Structure 1
Amino acid sequence: MIPQSHPKLHRSEFTLGVLAGGSGIRAGRRDKGLMIAKGRTLLERTLERYGKGFEEVVTCCRDNAWFYSRFSSRVLCDVEPGQGPLQGLSALLAATQTQYLAVIPCDQYSLPLDWFERLSSALSSTVIGVFATDGGTHTPCCVLHRDVHSQVNALLKQGKRSLMALYECEGLAHMAVPGAGMDIDHTDALHGVIRKPPQ
């Protein structure tokens, strides 16, 4: 039998999920999506750089749903705050109406512009999810088939909240993507947001 290549996937076939449910402890407990850099919020900058071409944007937030609704098709609120990125991924996967979900944090600012193409090119009949890593840093930036939802929920039921636990699940992979680990941990990092993103 001749091996069949996985068909190239386009952004229009994915829901874009935005994770905005963190507590922002290192940023003074501020909602990072609302933080301002050069007159625009981090969410606006993130979507402008990395969100083009997606038919639907769904945001999972902790607070300020009124703000996120201006930039999203739908907004989900954390029902159990403080449960980490796996809780947000579970909510986004449950809400996606497409077969696939692409995920970025609301304060992402240094991804290459072809981040989606890089990650989605690794999907196959056996690889149903790909996470971006950056120099050993594990990130929630990923592309996932909605079937990953059952794996995420199984981990949550076991009390696991770490992305590392999800990486070890069958059918999931990771790929080095320079800049994927660059997000805002404190206000001093805001100056990096205004730089031109890597190509």
Structure 2
Amino acid sequence: MSVRESICGLILAGGASQRFGGRDKGQQILAGRALADHVLERLAPQVSQVLLSANRNTFAYERAGVRVLADLALGLGEGPPPPGEQGPLGGLRAAWAATTHSWIALCPVDAPLLAPDLVTRLASARQGSDTAVVCRTREGPEPLFALVHRNTEPALVQRLMVGERAAQGFWRAVGARELDCSDIAESFANVNTPQALAEMEARLAARPAQSD
């Protein structure tokens, strides 16, 4: 089985987008397309299945041909949580319930420059006992860019049940390996404010057509 065939990709778009004034970040337009479409285009060739974590605008995301997952309730009889309440760990929990893959590659919806070989890099960095591999650069960890094994699911549920939502804390809890990706630091450029969106628009417009 190839690396691509063994891994499911998960785009994290379930947050509240507070720095966008509550507007759905993944549906913001960059170079004529939704941010989510840019990320999907780059992630899909690297994995055998793509899921997208979102708690609103389901139909808009589904038009891109991706299966959309809302965060799951934490207990029986509960309704779905508000957007962003469970954070990226809530999206990962929903993904484990929706895929049969043993590995999931995570990335956020606001990373339109995702490296085309990122998943391969993460997979190649695994060692036999690893439960997760997380990217880092010279600037520090990039906790939303990671490859994680299904055997971490019990620890994930436990953290959610006690109200812990931070991805970085979860990676520490499961002993994740860190992979230095400083040579592809551009891959982690995020678009999490209107100003960052405008800057990315200008950045892409200035690129020669053949560079994309």
Q: Normalising by structure 2, report the TM-score.
A: 0.81
1:87 to 83, 87, 90: 90
Matched, 1:36 2:36: no
What one-letter code is carried by the residue in structure 2 that aligns with 1:172?
A
Q: Secondary structure at the match of 1:130?
A: strand
User: Displacement of 1:161 after TM fit?
Assistant: 0.9
Higher mean C-alpha displacement, 75-84 vs 26-35 = 75-84
Cα distance, 1:188–1:49 mapped onto 2, change above 3 Å:
same
| Fraction of identical pairs, as percent | 29
Aligned with 1:68 (options 58, 61, 86): 61
Q: 1:137 to 1:128 in 2, by over 3 A?
A: closer
Residue in structure 2 matched with residue 4 of structure 1 by the alignment? none
Q: Is the 8 A contact 2:6 2:101 kept in 1?
A: yes
User: Which residue of 148, 155, 159 corresponds with 2:152?
Assistant: 148
Runs ≥4 residues deviating over 3 A? 193-196
User: Which segments of 5 or more consecutive residues in structure 2 lack a partner in the other structure?
Assistant: 72-79
Greater fraction helix? 2
The C-alpha deviation readout for 1:86-123, integer Å capped at 9, x for no partner, is 11111112222212111111111233321111111122
2:16 to 9, 15, 23: 23
Taking the aligned partners of 1:54 and 1:137, their CA distance within structure 2 comes to 23
Return the match for 1:113 from 104, 113, 116: 116
Whether the aligned pair in 1 keeps the contact of 2:152 and 2:174 (CA below 8 Å) is no
SS in 2 for 1:147: helix
Shift of 1:50: 2.8
Pair 1:99 & 2:102 matched: yes
Q: Which residue among 116, 123, 147 is the counterpart of 2:126?
A: 123
Paired residue secondary structure (1:51): helix
State whether structure 2 residue 200 is matched by structure 1 residue 192. yes
Where does residue 174 of structure 1 map in the other structure? 178
Is the 1:19–1:105 contact (alpha carbons within 8 Å) kept by the matching residues of 2?
yes
Q: Is the 8 A contact 1:56 1:72 kept in 2?
A: no
CA distance in 1, matches of 2:187, 2:160: 24
Shift of 1:167: 1.6
Residue-pair matches, total: 191
Output the amino acid matched with 1:188: Q
Deviates more, 1:158-167 or 1:50-59: 50-59
Quote the residue 2:49 is aligned against: 56
1:161 counterpart residue number: 165
1:72 offset after TM fit, Å? 4.1
With 37-46 and 103-112 compared, the bigger mean Cα shift is at 103-112
Task: Tell me which moved more, 91-100 or 186-195.
Answer: 186-195
Per-residue deviation at 1:22?
0.7
Separation in structure 2 between the aligned mates of residue 53 and residue 168 of structure 1, nearest angstrom = 26
